[in-house]
Amino acid sequence: MILLKDAVKAEDVISSFSKLGEALSRNLSKGLESALTDMASIAKVSHRYKVRTGKLYSATQAAVKELKGDLFISDSVAHYGVYVHEGHGTWAPDKFVYKAVLDNEPDLTKALNKSIAQAIREVGLA
């Protein structure tokens, strides 16, 4: 036999679940943005290229929109970024952005799990 110490009201649970979507969206967006910004910072310092103007450094960016994250090299800031990353002619590829994502995927997973837990706490389901 299970004893419940506190009465659970169905309307409170329903209300919490109705708020969960917005809380998840907000928290996941923050967590994703934070993790991708960290990955961009790591990519900026883990490259092989020689820094001359700093454009490639500035071009390595993270963006989050509608819960979709992107870590990229902006070709409007450094048009040659794709050649450095992918290689071209005699240039060997330096996949520093790709490597930053792969190496830090566990941190991204942790950040998203924390964001989900935070959302659940915010709406009172934990």
Sign of torsion over alpha carbons 21, 22, 28, 33: positive
**63 in a domain, yes or no?**
yes
Percentage of residues in the chain having pLDDT higher than 70: 90
- Burial of residue 55, with CB atoms counted within 10 A of its CB: 0-12 exposed, 13-18 middle, 19 or more buried: middle
Q: Is the pLDDT of residue 22 over 60?
A: yes
Per DSSP, 6 falls in state S
Percentage of residues in the chain having pLDDT higher than 90: 68
Q: What is the pTM of this model?
A: 0.80
**1 in a domain, yes or no?**
no
Residues 6+ apart with CB under 8 A from 73: 56, 59, 60, 61, 81, 82, 84, 85, 97
**88 in a domain, yes or no?**
yes
User: Total domain count for the chain?
Assistant: 1
**97 in a domain, yes or no?**
yes
For residue 114, give its domain range: 23-122
Phi/psi of residue 125, each to 5°?
Answer: -95, 0
Q: Mean pLDDT across the stretch 54-66?
A: 93
